[in-house]
Amino acid sequence: MLENVKVLYGEEAVQERIAQLAKQIDEDYAEKTLTVICVLKGAVFFTVDLLKQMKTQVSLEMMQVSSYEGTETTGKITIKKDLEQDISGKDVLIVEDIVDTGYTLQYLKEYLQTKQPNSLKIAVLTDKAERRKVDVKLDYTGFVIPNEFIVGYGMDYDEIGRNLPYIGYIKS
Protein backbone atom coordinates (compact mmCIF):
# COMPACT_ATOMS: atom_id res chain seq x y z
CA MET A 1 0.00 0.00 0.00
CA LEU A 2 2.67 2.56 0.97
CA GLU A 3 4.52 1.97 -2.28
CA ASN A 4 1.62 3.80 -3.99
CA VAL A 5 1.95 6.99 -1.91
CA LYS A 6 2.60 10.19 -3.85
CA VAL A 7 3.89 13.31 -2.08
CA LEU A 8 1.39 16.15 -1.93
CA TYR A 9 3.31 18.47 0.47
CA GLY A 10 6.92 17.75 1.36
CA GLU A 11 8.34 17.93 4.87
CA GLU A 12 9.78 21.43 4.37
CA ALA A 13 6.47 22.83 3.08
CA VAL A 14 4.62 21.27 6.03
CA GLN A 15 7.03 22.77 8.58
CA GLU A 16 6.89 26.18 6.91
CA ARG A 17 3.08 26.23 6.98
CA ILE A 18 2.99 25.10 10.62
CA ALA A 19 5.32 27.98 11.55
CA GLN A 20 2.94 30.41 9.82
CA LEU A 21 -0.05 28.98 11.70
CA ALA A 22 1.82 29.16 15.02
CA LYS A 23 2.58 32.84 14.43
CA GLN A 24 -1.08 33.56 13.61
CA ILE A 25 -2.30 31.73 16.72
CA ASP A 26 0.28 33.56 18.88
CA GLU A 27 -1.03 36.88 17.57
CA ASP A 28 -4.63 35.88 18.31
CA TYR A 29 -3.86 34.67 21.84
CA ALA A 30 -1.23 37.21 22.93
CA GLU A 31 -1.15 37.58 26.73
CA LYS A 32 -3.45 34.57 27.20
CA THR A 33 -3.10 30.94 28.20
CA LEU A 34 -4.49 28.55 25.64
CA THR A 35 -5.81 25.05 26.28
CA VAL A 36 -4.87 22.97 23.24
CA ILE A 37 -6.81 19.77 22.62
CA CYS A 38 -4.92 17.34 20.40
CA VAL A 39 -7.29 14.94 18.66
CA LEU A 40 -5.59 11.54 18.81
CA LYS A 41 -3.98 9.82 17.08
CA GLY A 42 -3.63 11.68 13.82
CA ALA A 43 -3.05 15.19 15.14
CA VAL A 44 -0.09 14.27 17.38
CA PHE A 45 2.58 15.17 14.83
CA PHE A 46 0.86 18.46 13.92
CA THR A 47 0.19 19.39 17.55
CA VAL A 48 3.77 18.78 18.69
CA ASP A 49 5.30 20.77 15.85
CA LEU A 50 2.73 23.55 16.21
CA LEU A 51 3.31 23.92 19.95
CA LYS A 52 7.10 23.91 19.52
CA GLN A 53 6.71 26.95 17.23
CA MET A 54 4.30 28.83 19.50
CA LYS A 55 5.23 31.42 22.14
CA THR A 56 1.77 31.42 23.78
CA GLN A 57 1.46 29.68 27.15
CA VAL A 58 -0.39 26.42 26.58
CA SER A 59 -1.97 23.65 28.54
CA LEU A 60 -2.17 20.41 26.56
CA GLU A 61 -5.10 18.01 26.57
CA MET A 62 -5.73 14.89 24.50
CA MET A 63 -8.98 13.46 23.18
CA GLN A 64 -9.58 10.50 20.95
CA VAL A 65 -12.62 10.23 18.72
CA SER A 66 -13.27 7.81 15.92
CA SER A 67 -15.48 7.52 12.88
CA TYR A 68 -13.27 5.64 10.40
CA GLU A 69 -12.59 2.04 9.46
CA GLY A 70 -10.05 1.65 6.68
CA THR A 71 -10.64 4.39 4.11
CA GLU A 72 -14.33 4.96 4.85
CA THR A 73 -16.17 6.85 7.55
CA THR A 74 -18.63 4.72 9.50
CA GLY A 75 -20.92 7.68 10.22
CA LYS A 76 -20.88 6.73 13.92
CA ILE A 77 -18.74 8.96 16.13
CA THR A 78 -17.42 7.67 19.43
CA ILE A 79 -15.29 9.31 22.11
CA LYS A 80 -12.56 6.85 23.02
CA LYS A 81 -10.67 9.22 25.36
CA ASP A 82 -12.20 12.25 27.01
CA LEU A 83 -10.63 15.34 28.59
CA GLU A 84 -8.86 15.07 31.92
CA GLN A 85 -9.24 18.72 32.93
CA ASP A 86 -12.11 21.18 33.15
CA ILE A 87 -12.16 23.64 30.23
CA SER A 88 -14.95 25.89 31.49
CA GLY A 89 -13.98 29.54 31.15
CA LYS A 90 -10.82 28.71 29.21
CA ASP A 91 -9.70 29.64 25.71
CA VAL A 92 -9.60 26.35 23.82
CA LEU A 93 -8.08 25.31 20.50
CA ILE A 94 -8.98 21.96 18.94
CA VAL A 95 -6.07 20.66 16.84
CA GLU A 96 -7.05 18.11 14.20
CA ASP A 97 -5.10 16.45 11.38
CA ILE A 98 -7.83 16.41 8.73
CA VAL A 99 -11.40 17.53 8.22
CA ASP A 100 -13.36 15.62 5.61
CA THR A 101 -17.17 15.51 5.82
CA GLY A 102 -17.03 17.64 8.96
CA TYR A 103 -19.27 15.34 11.00
CA THR A 104 -16.60 14.38 13.55
CA LEU A 105 -15.39 17.93 14.05
CA GLN A 106 -18.94 19.26 14.32
CA TYR A 107 -19.74 16.59 16.93
CA LEU A 108 -16.56 17.36 18.86
CA LYS A 109 -17.17 21.11 18.77
CA GLU A 110 -20.76 20.74 19.98
CA TYR A 111 -19.63 18.34 22.72
CA LEU A 112 -16.89 20.73 23.92
CA GLN A 113 -19.28 23.71 23.85
CA THR A 114 -21.29 21.92 26.57
CA LYS A 115 -18.17 22.23 28.77
CA GLN A 116 -18.57 26.05 28.58
CA PRO A 117 -15.15 27.23 27.40
CA ASN A 118 -14.55 30.98 27.12
CA SER A 119 -13.72 30.52 23.44
CA LEU A 120 -13.39 27.54 21.12
CA LYS A 121 -11.46 27.58 17.85
CA ILE A 122 -10.26 24.91 15.44
CA ALA A 123 -6.89 24.39 13.76
CA VAL A 124 -6.60 21.71 11.07
CA LEU A 125 -3.57 20.63 9.15
CA THR A 126 -5.55 19.49 6.10
CA ASP A 127 -8.99 20.41 4.83
CA LYS A 128 -10.69 18.20 2.26
CA ALA A 129 -13.24 20.97 1.59
CA GLU A 130 -14.92 19.40 -1.45
CA ARG A 131 -16.16 16.47 0.70
CA ARG A 132 -17.78 18.67 3.37
CA LYS A 133 -21.29 17.59 4.35
CA VAL A 134 -21.78 19.95 7.31
CA ASP A 135 -20.68 23.54 7.75
CA VAL A 136 -17.99 23.65 10.40
CA LYS A 137 -15.95 26.84 10.84
CA LEU A 138 -12.20 26.30 10.64
CA ASP A 139 -10.18 29.09 12.22
CA TYR A 140 -6.71 27.96 11.13
CA THR A 141 -6.10 25.77 8.09
CA GLY A 142 -2.78 24.38 6.95
CA PHE A 143 -3.62 23.05 3.49
CA VAL A 144 -6.75 22.61 1.41
CA ILE A 145 -6.31 19.20 -0.17
CA PRO A 146 -7.89 17.26 -3.04
CA ASN A 147 -10.38 14.45 -2.56
CA GLU A 148 -7.76 11.71 -2.22
CA PHE A 149 -7.01 9.33 0.64
CA ILE A 150 -4.33 11.16 2.62
CA VAL A 151 -1.52 9.55 4.63
CA GLY A 152 1.60 10.72 6.38
CA TYR A 153 2.38 13.30 9.00
CA GLY A 154 0.04 11.59 11.45
CA MET A 155 -2.62 10.46 9.00
CA ASP A 156 -2.94 6.76 8.34
CA TYR A 157 -4.38 3.89 6.39
CA ASP A 158 -5.48 1.36 9.03
CA GLU A 159 -2.75 2.69 11.39
CA ILE A 160 0.02 2.51 8.75
CA GLY A 161 1.82 5.54 7.31
CA ARG A 162 1.51 7.99 10.21
CA ASN A 163 5.29 8.33 10.48
CA LEU A 164 5.85 9.55 6.92
CA PRO A 165 7.44 13.02 7.27
CA TYR A 166 5.30 14.48 4.47
CA ILE A 167 1.62 14.63 3.47
CA GLY A 168 0.88 12.23 0.68
CA TYR A 169 -2.00 10.46 -0.98
CA ILE A 170 -2.56 6.89 -2.02
CA LYS A 171 -2.55 6.65 -5.79
CA SER A 172 -5.03 4.03 -6.95
The one catalytic residue among 97, 100, 127, 135:
100
- Cβ(125)–Cβ(139) below 8 Å: no
Q: Tell me the three-class secondary structure of the chain, residue by residue.
A: CHHHEEEEECHHHHHHHHHHHHHHHHHHCCCCEEEEEEEECCCHHHHHHHHHHCCCEEEEEEEEEEEEECCEEEEEEEEEECCCCCCCCCEEEEEEEEECCCHHHHHHHHHHHCCCCCEEEEEEEEECHHHCCCCCCCCEEEEECCCCCEEECCECECCECCCCCCEEEECC
Is 28 a catalytic site residue? Answer: no
Which positions are annotated as active-site residues? Answer: 100
